[in-house]
């Protein structure tokens, strides 16, 4: 099993009701929001339904650690620090991220919010109405999701 980063690319206008509900179940309520999920069959089916509004792929530990430090928030919009992670889990950030990707720990262990509110990518998206395979942004992009998230951090 893998951890998958899902980023919402398109907005809220003219979205079908069932797609809108699926995006809400994934906690992707606004453009440029990112969530980390696993690749269970139920999540894969949800991604298939919303593939025209999001882009997704497996995340690596380096990108995940940058994402947590820069955009990870606690309740009350408080930033995450490496000292906080060390205090809560007894591990440094890199080992926590590796354990998270190996399903040995969860983001809820450090009480982090599920949604990362990112900036739009530096130099913009390619094309927000085309799939990634045709030179656009939407749908699965496999390991290239890490490059997109790096541009959004």
Q: Per-residue pLDDT tens for 123-138?
A: 888 888 888 888 889 9
78 and 125 share a domain?
no
- Tell me, what CATH number does 8's domain have? 3.30.1390.20
Show the tokens assigned to 25. 């179940």
Tens-place pLDDT, residues 64-91: 999 999 999 998 999 988 999 999 888 8
Report the alpha-carbon distance of residue 120 to residue 118 in Å, rounded: 7
What are the tokens at 35? 């969530």
Statement to judge: residues 54 and 120 lie in one domain: yes
Tell whether 54 and 66 lie within a shared domain: no
**Cα–Cα distance measured from residue 58 to residue 56, given in angstroms and rounded to the nearest whole number:** 7
Query: What 3-state class would DSSP assign to 131?
Result: strand
Burial 126-146 (b: 16+ CB within 10 A, else e): eeeeebbeeebbbbbbeeebb
The verdict on pTM exceeding 0.85 is: yes
Q: Look at residue 124 in the predicted model and tell me its pLDDT.
A: 83
């Amino acid at each position: 099993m893998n951890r998958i980063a899902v980023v919402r690319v398109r907005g809220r206008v003219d979205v079908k009701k069932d797609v809108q509900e699926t995006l809400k179940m994934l906690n992707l309520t606004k453009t440029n929001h990112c969530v980390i999920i696993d690749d269970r069959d139920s999540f894969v089916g949800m991604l298939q339904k919303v593939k025209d509004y999001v882009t997704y792929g497996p995340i690596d530990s380096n990108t995940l650690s940058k994402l947590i430090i820069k955009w990870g928030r606690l309740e009350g919009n408080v930033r995450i620090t490496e000292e906080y992670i060390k205090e809560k889990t007894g591990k440094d950030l890199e080992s926590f991220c590796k354990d998270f990707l190996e399903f040995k720990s969860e983001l809820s262990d450090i009480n982090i919010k599920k949604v990362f509110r990112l900036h739009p990518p530096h130099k913009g998206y390619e094309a927000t109405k085309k799939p990634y395979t045709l030179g656009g942004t939407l749908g699965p992009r496999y390991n290239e999701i890490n490059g997109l998230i790096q541009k959004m951090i």
